[in-house]
């Protein structure tokens, strides 16, 4: 045995070297030790999966649990432990409970339901682009479009008043920060569930044509779903719908503008849009420390034995850069077929809102590029702040001119 075998595994999460690429340790591990041990903030050991095939097989393997309540569930921060313990939505449940709750909401995020939203999305995007164009240059695309666009769409879908969106974003950010104290993260998670409970009660009095009113009618009134459970699930939906798409728009625009020929092709050829969105999802993979699992028994993957109770990060940013599945993976190429990426995860916990997210991105990028054909990044070196402080990766700001 060499001395190296006795050294503690490296501390996870790693720092990015290039802000547009995942940490280099993922690619290194993939060639030398694709299932690689790391040390978490609390000193515990966990495993990273860096290959696409391993990622997909673990998250569809019942020997690995996705129960957030499991005391061995791996976390990237101390605050996340508290948040996970408090999570009561189906994102943190194994089957059969997961499917039982999730199926009450699949209708609300189906291809049909989302297709009905497309004209609303386009109208919202156009209005926000108008607002951007009315500003002095350079202007911040994140504050003007990336943040409000998914918020407005989500408010329309869910039935929450738009003036509440800043509060919702603050709750999501408070929960997802890497530097957050456990008490504050828990408080922000609670505040959002309490907010959703008030929304449920309001919609019970005054129903509308929205998700909350429909779920009340179909599941709460017949007694299939308690208000308390709905409030937890609703808070999860609000958080997920605000944060992730925002980051895809901010960082996605930066990546498109860094590849002007590809941006022009996406602008001019509508048939390229959906493939470009898949490639952006693959390339950005904003939900960067997910999915997570805990082994319920000893499991061998390749030449590594994952012990019962060990945590696993089936990293989707690593799987999405596996050269055996995506040739020349660090090259951004809107012409490739990236549709089998796992940016939304895989297995039963794959993103509930993925059709919504795809459609939002398919609407917003072409409109931005068509209406602002000279759109360009207008930032000095170091001026763009990347979200190294957040669990969901992206940019805090993106100064642009047009």
Partner 1 sequence: MVSNAKGPIMSVLKVRVDLAKCIGAGQCVLRAPRIFDQRDDGMVILLDDSPAPELHAAAHKAADLCPSQAIIIEEIP
Q: Which residues bind partner 1 (CB under 8 A)?
A: 60, 99, 102-103, 106-112, 339-340, 345-348, 350-352, 354-355, 358
- Which lies closer to partner 1 via its Cβ, residue 348 or residue 378? 348
Nearest to 289 by CA among 312, 270, 308, 271: 312
CB of 349 to partner 1, least distance (A): 8
Work out the number of other CB atoms within 10 angstroms of the CB of residue 96: 8
CB of 341 to partner 1, least distance (A): 10
Nearest to 313 by CA among 14, 8, 112, 113: 14
- Which lies closer to partner 1 via its Cβ, residue 354 or residue 397? 354
List of residues 6+ apart from 257 with CB closer than 8 A: 263, 375, 376, 377, 400
CB of 351 to partner 1, least distance (A): 8
CB of 340 to partner 1, least distance (A): 6
C-alpha pair distances (Å), 25 with each of 28, 30, 54, 75, 301: 5, 8, 17, 19, 19
CB of 303 to partner 1, least distance (A): 26
What does residue 350 show for φ and ψ, rounded to 5 degrees? -55, 145
CB of 100 to partner 1, least distance (A): 11
- Which lies closer to partner 1 via its Cβ, residue 363 or residue 379? 363
- Which lies closer to partner 1 via its Cβ, residue 315 or residue 395? 315
List of residues 6+ apart from 218 with CB closer than 8 A: 104
- Which lies closer to partner 1 via its Cβ, residue 28 or residue 60? 60
CB of 245 to partner 1, least distance (A): 17
CB of 52 to partner 1, least distance (A): 12
CB of 391 to partner 1, least distance (A): 21
SS (H, E, C) the chain: CCHHHHCCCCECCCCCCCCCCCCHHHHHHHHHCCEEEEECCCCCEEEEECCHHHHHHHHCCCCEECCCCCCCCCCCCHHHHHHHHHCCCHHHCCCCHHHHHHHHHHHHHCHHHHHHHHHHHHHHHHHHHHHHHCCCCCEEHHHHHHCHHHHHHHHHHHCCCHHHHHHHHHHHHHHHECCCCHHHHHHHHHHHHHHHHHHHHHHHHCCCCCHHHHHHHHHHCCCCCCHHHHHHHHHHHHHHHHHHHHHHHHHHHHHHHCCHHHHHHHHHCHHHHHHHHHHHHHHHCCECCCCEEEECCCEEECCEEECCCCEEECCHHHHCCCCCCCCCCCCCCCCCCCCCCCCCCCCCCCCCCHHHHHHHHHHHHHHHHHHCCCCEECCCCCCCCECCCECECCECCCEEEC
- Which lies closer to partner 1 via its Cβ, residue 174 or residue 241? 241
CB of 23 to partner 1, least distance (A): 26
- Which lies closer to partner 1 via its Cβ, residue 74 or residue 345? 345
- Which lies closer to partner 1 via its Cβ, residue 157 or residue 352? 352
CB of 110 to partner 1, least distance (A): 4
- Which lies closer to partner 1 via its Cβ, residue 52 or residue 365? 52
- Which lies closer to partner 1 via its Cβ, residue 289 or residue 346? 346
- Which lies closer to partner 1 via its Cβ, residue 326 or residue 346? 346
């Amino acid at each position: 045995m060499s001395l190296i075998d006795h050294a503690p595994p490296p501390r996870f999460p790693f720092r990015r070297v290039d802000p547009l690429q995942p940490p280099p340790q993922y690619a290194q591990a993939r060639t030398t030790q694709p299932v690689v041990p790391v040390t978490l903030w609390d000193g515990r050991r966990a495993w990273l999966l860096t290959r696409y095939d391993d990622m997909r097989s673990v998250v569809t393997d019942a020997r690995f649990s996705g129960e957030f309540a499991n005391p061995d569930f791996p976390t990237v921060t101390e605050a996340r432990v508290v948040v996970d313990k408090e999570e009561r939505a189906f994102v943190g449940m194994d089957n059969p409970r997961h499917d039982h709750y999730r199926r009450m909401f699949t209708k609300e995020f189906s291809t049909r339901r989302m297709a009905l939203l497309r004209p609303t999305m386009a109208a919202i995007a156009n209005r926000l682009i108008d607002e951007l164009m009315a500003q002095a240059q350079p202007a911040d695309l994140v504050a003007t479009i990336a943040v409000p666009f998914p918020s407005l769409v989500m408010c329309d879908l869910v039935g929450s008043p738009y003036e509440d969106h800043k509060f919702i974003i603050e709750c999501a950010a408070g929960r997802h920060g890497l530097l957050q104290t456990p008490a504050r993260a828990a408080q922000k998670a609670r505040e959002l569930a309490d907010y959703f409970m008030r929304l449920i009660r309001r919609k019970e009095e005054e129903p509308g044509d929205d998700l909350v009113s429909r779920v009340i009618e179909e599941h709460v009134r017949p007694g299939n779903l308690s208000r308390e459970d709905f409030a937890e699930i609703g808070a999860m939906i609000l958080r997920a719908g605000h944060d992730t798409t925002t980051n895809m728009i901010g960082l996605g625009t930066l990546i498109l503008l860094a590849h002007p020929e590809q941006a022009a092709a996406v602008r001019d050829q509508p048939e390229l849009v959906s493939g470009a969105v898949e490639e952006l999802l693959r390339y950005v993979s904003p939900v960067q420390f997910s999915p997570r699992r805990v082994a319920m028994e000893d499991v061998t993957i390749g030449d590594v034995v994952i012990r019962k109770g060990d945590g696993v990060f089936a990293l989707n940013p690593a799987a999405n850069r596996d050269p055996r599945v995506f040739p020349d993976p660090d090259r951004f190429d809107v012409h490739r077929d990236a549709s089998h990426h796992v940016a939304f995860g895989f297995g039963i916990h794959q993103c509930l809102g993925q059709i919504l997210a795809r459609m939002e991105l398919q609407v917003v990028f072409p409109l931005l590029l068509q209406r602002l054909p000279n759109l360009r990044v207008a930032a000095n070196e170091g001026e763009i702040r990347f979200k190294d402080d957040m669990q969901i990766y992206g940019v805090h700001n993106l100064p642009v001119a047009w």
